[in-house]
Amino acid sequence: MKPLGIAPDRIHRLNGEAVPSVAVAEASAEIRRVVPLDPAGVPVLDMIFLGLGEDGHIASLMPNAPTAVLESREPYVRVSNSPKPPPDRLTMTYPVLAAAKNVWMLATGAAKAEALRDSLRSNGTTPFARVLCSRPQTIIYTDLNEFSPARSK
């Protein structure tokens, strides 16, 4: 496999192997350095492409997340004791997902149908439902027969 030829100064890797507090601080500082900020100081990415977990999680924003994760105004936050491996993670926060110019989400496989159905309800309770409620438009791609192949909300 050949390298893509991306200049090193254009690669902004998360250092998930670092001490979590250090990794979060570095990632938050870096995104603020390279991405325009909205008036509230939230980085505004051009596009975020998400996957949907069977429980409705997106990024590493899990159902029943602690208040510190749900209410964080930082671009990144540490997630510990995740129900899925690895247990300790870094993730973008809800304000960054809400502020992005474009968010696309991919849900494939029958095991994701209930999570997508719940997310699309007006009173949906999944992390993805929370993202949908925070944005004027999110593009959803799915192979699930009960949903159209591409749908916007």
Cα distance between residue 112 and residue 114, in whole Å: 6
DSSP H helical ranges for 1-153: 20-34, 67-71, 94-99, 113-120, 127-133
Cα distance between the two ends of the chain: 38
Q: Which of 96, 80, 101 is nearest to 31 (CA)?
A: 96
Using CB atoms within 10 A of its CB, is residue 55 exposed (0-12), middle (13-18) or buried (19+)?
middle
> What are 73-87's pLDDT values in tens digits?
999 999 988 888 888
- Domains (ranges, CATH) in the chain? 16-152 (3.40.50.1360)
Helix count and strand count (H, E) for the chain: 5, 6
pTM higher than 0.95, yes or no? no
> What are 99-145's pLDDT values in tens digits?
999 999 999 999 999 999 999 999 999 999 999 999 999 999 999 87
